[in-house]
Amino acid sequence: MILKQFYLNCLAHASYLIGDEQTHAAAVVDPQRDIDQYLAFAAEHGLRIGHVVLTHFHADFIAGHLELRDRAGAAIYLGAAARAEYRFTPLHDGDVVDLGRVRLQALETPGHTAESISLLVYDLDSSVSEPQAVLTGDTLFVGDVGRPDLRVALGWSASDLGGMLYDSLRNKLLALPDRSAVYPAHGAGSLCGKALSKETHSTIGEQRRSNYALQPMSKAAFVDLVTADQPDAPSYFTYDAVLNSQERPTLDETLERVNALNLDQLLALQAVGAQVLDTRDPAEFAAAHLIGSINVGLGGQYATWAGTVLSREKPIVIIADPGREHEAAMRLGRIGFDQVVGYLENGLHSIESRRELTASTERLSPQVAAERVATAERAPLMVDVRAPGERQQKHIVGSVGIPLSHLGERLSELPADRPILVYCAGGYRSSIAASLLQRHGFMQVGEIAGGIAAWDAGNLPLERSYSGRS
């Protein structure tokens, strides 16, 4: 048996290839949309990918099932409760995807979504009765369980799905042998749960002992627990979940439309509403950028934040370091943002002779920022764009909190005639926030370089959630 985990850090997403070395048959489970790595691995090991399984309609990324269908000839499998526009084989409890001496057997495990399934993985040469592993999708994570509230916009009650999740975990997954390996679809950093471990695999026994959501409790207590304090989900989550059930263009087809643009072409598109996305490092963006552009750097959680702050309804033009344009468009395609119409040829070098088109963002050291707040006649307003849970732990004294995910809808709360200093944990999100503020006409915007980490390291005043120095 071959069981290979592929882990995509920027989306905290795990996918799997399972194969039989004797028959050369293979299946891919929960693939990302760019599928070359699965094809390359299969070719290297002499495998043929004949099957692709989605454990559910993922909300945080577009899966590569149609790509594997079209390029590898793979048949698509979904949970029996799923409804989709493309042809698929429904999997009920006990249904099997046979690879030879390796077998995948479906467990219907609704709760995260109504159509969620898990897959038992059997190596028949080792045991015909005991699974070697279980691929749990978003039903069970290492250290957490799937959130049941992501289908509210599609008519599902979080409480109803939470009750299903309780039954699926206790009646299906916890009934498995303790030594069965657990391979989930996500790890730490995913918004599909609230306490995911950095570990990407575990065992049923370890999760039975250590996972907070698997401890003895009533169904009502469980539902209350798993519906409370979930992180904000970006608006594109519902869009992606629906798109995963639809027939759609493949990633290759969408990327074929992304072409180089000269500066005049970019400016013409910007003038009629196109979004200009600058994917360079925040420090480079701060030094110089096209007026009106939005910075989401490729070095961070690029797709998640681009999907949060950009509109799906408007075209996107990319500014990137030369050679990284394709990567920037492809990573947007992973979340279904297929409206990239082009990229600026030669990146920001194309604007060097047109200084009137550029702006900069002041980045202040924590010490200079603190001095300016304390002594300036018109003291800057410090805006904390981290998540509420981060702010609750510690924040800069005198700052106001507006999470980046809600900044666009709360701009009216900020004074247009007062300098603004934004900060986050380390500088990635504050650059996004500063670019959004500038795009909406705020003229006096700066950042605290290094974020709250640098502020704290400089022994500057902080308010903390526990008794200690302030």
424 annotated active-site: yes
Q: Which among 294, 310, 424, 449 is annotated as catalytic?
A: 424
CA dist 136 and 145 (Å) reads: 10
Q: Looking up tokens 């705020």, which residue turns up?
A: 442
Centroid of chain to Cα 370: 34
Angle at the Cα of 287 (from 357 to 319), degrees rounded to 5?
Answer: 60
Burial label, 354 (beta-carbon count in 10 A; 0-12, 13-18, 19+): exposed
DSSP bridge pairs for 28: 17, 52
How far apart CA 421 and CA 445 sit, in angstroms, is 6
Q: Residue 313, Cα to own-chain centre: how many angstroms?
A: 20
Note the Cα 116 to chain centre separation in Å: 19
What does the block give as tokens for 51? 């099957």
β-pairing verdict for 202-203 and 117-123? unpaired
* Residue whose entry in the numeric block shows the structure tokens 């959501």: 213
d(Cα 11, Cα 233) in Å, to the nearest integer? 13
Catalytic amino acids? 424
